[in-house]
Amino acid sequence: MLSNLIVQFINGIALGSTYALIALGYTMVYGIILLINFAHGDIFMAGAFVGLLLVTVFHVHIIIAFLGAMLFCMIMGIIIEKIAYKPLRRSTRLAALISAIGVSIFLSNLANLLFGAKPTSFPPTEQILFKIQTYELVAGAQITNLQILTIVTSALLMIGLQYFIKKSRTGKAMRATSQDYDTAALMGINVNRIISYTFAIGSSLAAAGGVLVGIYFGVVKYNMGFMVGLKAFTAAVLGGIGSIPGAMFGGLALGIGEMLAVAVGLSSYRDAIAFGILILVLLFKPTGLFGTQIQKKV
């Protein structure tokens, strides 16, 4: 029983670290333009498909496929922002949100047309990466090298992002823009470029998450972005939307929570549990664990 709990806990960390990668995109975009980027989950799906195509059709190495998927989604994120969100920046938030939902529906159903409704499977791990080995931890609990790889890759990307946001000039401009959009523009920050950077970084992290999930679970499906995207959004809200450490923490917490629910035998309710957490957080602490209160003015 204890070893089962530890195994599910480790599964939860591996799953949660991918949620965290995706949640970062939601939280960064929301921090700057106050928009829930519904299409983010579908960018994650696109990243998984691009990675899969690069491996199976173009026979490139998995690391190059990983980087290629990130680059592709980076460009895709920028284009989506330019087409669907930029013209709506000064209109109501409802309009921008509906537009984002439109992009999401468009992308997932386009993938359905292109790749079919059946799940496409990734090549076996030992062909593209390495042979899966399990290592014994305490009390009979095991961890696989694939899980270690997923966790380490996510952690590296998140540390890199944190460094970028805190230290680089662009990162500072991003933080300034998220604090006050208009004042940042007055201080000479090219706000449009910062927004493009934000979408580019968020989308490439989602693509990284997509490839990792694709390898980890072995299958890619056209509508995989919907549920994962919603859960990543839940993670972002749980940690406090707009807060980058919050998104990382929220992702891990949600992943672990979900896997523990599976461990106690509630696996058919795991989606309902994630949404239940979301609704409870929104009701009792809408700013999340690390978020800041925004005063609303007329």
Partner 1 sequence: MGFIDGIIPPYYESILITVGIYIIMALGLNLITGVTGQLNLGHAAYMCIGAYTSAMISLKLGLPFFVAILAGGALAAVFGFVIGYPTLRLTGDYLAICTLGFGEILKSVLLNIPAVGGAMGIAGIPPKTTLTITLIIMIIVIISMVRVENSRFGRALVAIREDEIAAECNGVNATKYKLQMFSFGCFIAGIGGALWAHKIMVLQPRDFGFLKSIEILNMVVLGGLGSIPGTILGATVLTSIPEILRFSSEYRMVLYGALLVIMMVFRPHGLMGGVSFNTLAKRSFGWLKPRSKSDDKPEQKEMGG
- Of 59, 136, 268, 293, the one binding partner 1 (CB under 8 A) is 268
- Of 75, 156, 276, 285, the one binding partner 1 (CB under 8 A) is 276
CB of 271 to partner 1, least distance (A): 5
Element (H, E) at 149: helix 145-167
Q: Which range, of 3-11, 98-106, 162-170, 199-207, touches partner 1 by CB under 8 A?
A: 98-106
143 or 237: CB nearest partner 1? 237
Of residues 35 through 94, those in contact with partner 1 by CB under 8 A are: 35-36, 83-84, 87-88, 91-94
148 or 282: CB nearest partner 1? 282
Q: Which range, of 11-19, 126-134, 154-162, 263-271, touches partner 1 by CB under 8 A?
A: 263-271
* Secondary structure (DSSP) of 78-131: HHHIIIIIGGGTTS-HHHHHHHHHHHHHHHHHHHHHHH-SSPEEPPPHHHHT--
CB of 42 to partner 1, least distance (A): 10
CB of 157 to partner 1, least distance (A): 25
169 or 297: CB nearest partner 1? 297
CA distances (Å), 271 to each of 47, 55, 262, in order? 23, 31, 11
Q: Residue 151 and residue 297: Cα distance in Å, rounded?
A: 42
CA distances (Å), 18 to each of 73, 222, 238, 259, in order? 16, 18, 15, 14
Task: Look up residue 138 and give its two tokens.
Answer: 């305490």
**Which of 43, 48, 50 is closest to 26 using CA atoms?**
43
Q: Residue 195 and residue 34: Cα distance in Å, rounded?
A: 11
Binding-site ranges for partner 1 (CB under 8 A): 35-36, 83-84, 87-88, 91-99, 101-110, 112-113, 117, 226, 230, 233, 237, 268-269, 271-272, 275-276, 278-279, 282-283, 286, 296-298
